[in-house]
Chains A and B, each alone.
Chain A
Amino acid sequence: MSLGESIRNSQVWKSVFRHPMPLDRRNRIVVMLTNFFLHLHPVSIKKQGIALSYTWCMGGVTFFLFLVETVTGVLLMFYYRPTLEWAYRDIQDLRDVTSLGILRELHRWGAHAMVITTWLHMYRVFLTGSYKPPREFNWVVGVILLLLTLLLSFTGYLLPWDQLAIWAITVGSNMARATPFLGHEGPGQQLLSIGGIDMITNASDARFALLGARFVGEETLNRFYVLHCIAIPLAAAMLIAIHFWRVRKDGGISGPL
């Protein structure tokens, strides 16, 4: 018995691969039709669906970038500590000292690219009319995903903890002051008061919930770190799964139905 055969007859091999080697044509076809990983992509799609000039492959590129961001982000978490003492220094060390610290740049470039490709994907879907029924729900999911992409960029922007980051988040989060009803400078803020005492102040409004403090500080850093690394990626991953599933269920990728 050759080595290959003894491997293929071993308990370990058989526990991993549920079927024998597909040696005839039918079983080869069956393997293609039923493979879980190949199943993520449809077995057959319309010719238009793989025409680059039609799809621009922007959804696929965005998903690829999401994976890149996930992998590089996890690796960066090994070196980054979201504290006032270490956040800035760790980023400096990634640039100057750490081997393969270019992972941080890959993460940043990938983030910029992902925002661009998400917009282009949306633009293409609009131009081809792929938002029309029965795909209108998937368009809504896509808009939420665009929002999450932007929020990922926004929260990730603070983490280097340099002057640019601190003041960008300060300015950006000031918009939340003007939230209707829930921002302490927003319209209708006065309506939410009990016995003449304002319920919505600068220590209890939407901006305060976002920052975890009145000003951008260590609480904000920790809050944005958790949002950036855990909360938003989880939500995005689930919505991406739904997005892909709906693409399949709503008649396949792009193209007229």
Chain B
Amino acid sequence: MAEKKKLSVAEIMAAARKADSKGAAAPGSKPPAEPKPASEPVEAQSAQAASAGQEPVQQVVEQPAAAAPAPKSKPPAGGAKPSVAEILAMARAQAKDGQPPQPAAAPKPAAEVRPAKPAAVAAAKTPKPAPAEKPAAVAAVAGGKDTASILAAARKTTRPGPMSKAEAAARLKPAPERPAKAPAAKAPAAVPPMPARPDYARRQPAKDAAVAAEDRRWFLSVALGSFLGIGFTSLATTLGLWTLGLARFMFPNILTEPPSRFKVGFPGDFPPGAVEEKFKALFGVWVVNAEYQGEPQIFALRTVCTHLGCTPNWLDAEQKFKCPCHGSGFYKDGINFEGPAPRPLERYAISLADDGQLEIDKSKLFQEEMGQWNDPASFVPV
């Protein structure tokens, strides 16, 4: 922040591009005379300089870009609105030698030029034919104009893939003096320096006791050390609390489904051989009074087929449970005998309540093939 001069976006862009192209070229230490790929930003500079009506700078004389004929078009009429490329070129030229650019191209700083519209259109069109003879240069000229080509230019000049901080620092260092071919007027870029890292962001060199204590306070100083920190901390806290609250929100505090423990009536309501279907729709239970292994008992069968989970029907005429999906059949006691069902129906827990009624508890299941139907909780003997 040595000079407090305010820079426009265009100036910053121009300077940034310049700084980058310098930085990218320096580590490679290519001889500048060597012809470079046409898309190198150096060429973009030359093409833009050409479009602004200037002679290409000395640095690029030997390159194919510079070999292109001098711009055939006239420099833009005085007072005409310059194109973005021209603005960039002017800003760069200003930064380079401190002199105002071609007076004919733009007598005033770019931002202040407000020409009549037709003139602007004409001026914007005239510089184009010259670079158009070389497609790469066209792309370079367009580099200032739309984001796609900005990106393209950026991609070409920076090394792909992430880089370490050391590399980045090395790149941001001022490049060593260019060999003699470099243009004389290559002054350092007029870019505002990055602000110095605040203390908390500096890497601690070593850890003794005092520094360790400092480390422990690091989080607090970031989280609560400034108004910005407090703001973001409270924002993050609020978001976290809301997330927790919404997770809780998804778990209802009341259920409107039927209870899993309910009474179905007295044992006398279920005569021997009866299959009571009236609890099927609401509770998913058949209450059956039948023999299992020769012992008469009342039990509660779960109305879920053990094949794929459909609900079978009780066919009174055939005295069997029949699944409509794939034809599994079960005897009255729940044992499977036909179709794909691999095992008998399951029982719910059933017991006599204090008032003498049968009470079914759907939270406990009993499976015949595991010998659980002998559990006295799975039936009420008649």
Contact = CB atoms under 8 A, between A and B. Distances in A.
A51 interface: no
Interface in A1-42: 5, 8-9, 19-21, 23-27, 29-30, 33-34
Contact of A99 (B147, B161, B248): B248
B162 A99 contact: no
A29 B15 CA distance: 12
B151 A98 contact: no
Given A20-B163, A24-B20, A24-B172, A34 B151 contact: yes
A29 B144 CA distance: 13
Contacts of B248: 99-100
B158 A9 contact: no
A29 B168 contact: no
A103 interface: yes
- The secondary-structure label for the interface of chain B is helix
A21 B172 CA distance: 15
Given A29-B16, A30-B150, A33-B147, A23 B163 contact: yes
Contacts of B249: 75, 78, 98-100, 103
Contacts of A30: 147, 150-151, 154
A145 B230 CA distance: 37
B246 interface: yes
Contact of A25 (B191, B245, B246): B191
Contact of B245 (A44, A93, A99): A99
Contacts of A29: 9, 12-13, 16
Given A26-B20, A26-B154, A78 B163 contact: no
A67 to B, nearest CB: 14
A97 B9 contact: no
Contacts of B12: 25, 29
Interface string A95-118: 001111001000000000000000
Given A93-B254, A99-B248, A5 B162 contact: yes
B253 A99 contact: yes
Interface residues of B, number: 34
Nearest to B189: A25
User: Which of A26, A97, A100 has the largest count of B CB atoms less than 10 A from its CB?
Assistant: A26
A27 B245 contact: no
A123 interface: no
Interface string B168-195: 1001100000000000000000010000
Contacts of B168: 23-24
Nearest to A2: B164
Interface string A31-59: 00110000000001000000000000000
Nearest to A27: B154
Contacts of A34: 147, 150-151
B16 A24 contact: yes
A2 to B, nearest CB: 9
Interface in A214-251: none
A137 interface: no
Contact of A20 (B162, B251, B253, B254): B162
A97 B163 contact: no
B131 interface: no
Contact of A33 (B19, B150, B155): B150
A86 B17 CA distance: 65
A24 B172 CA distance: 7
A64 interface: no
A167 interface: no
B23 interface: yes
A30 B252 CA distance: 48
Contacts of A25: 12, 16, 19-20, 191
Interface of B: 9, 12-13, 16-17, 19-20, 23, 147, 150-151, 154-155, 158, 160-164, 167-168, 171-172, 191, 245-246, 248-254, 256
Interface of A: 5, 8-9, 19-21, 23-27, 29-30, 33-34, 44, 75, 78-79, 86, 93, 97-100, 103
Which 4 pairs between the two chains have the least Cβ-Cβ distance?
A: A26-B16, A23-B168, A25-B16, A100-B249
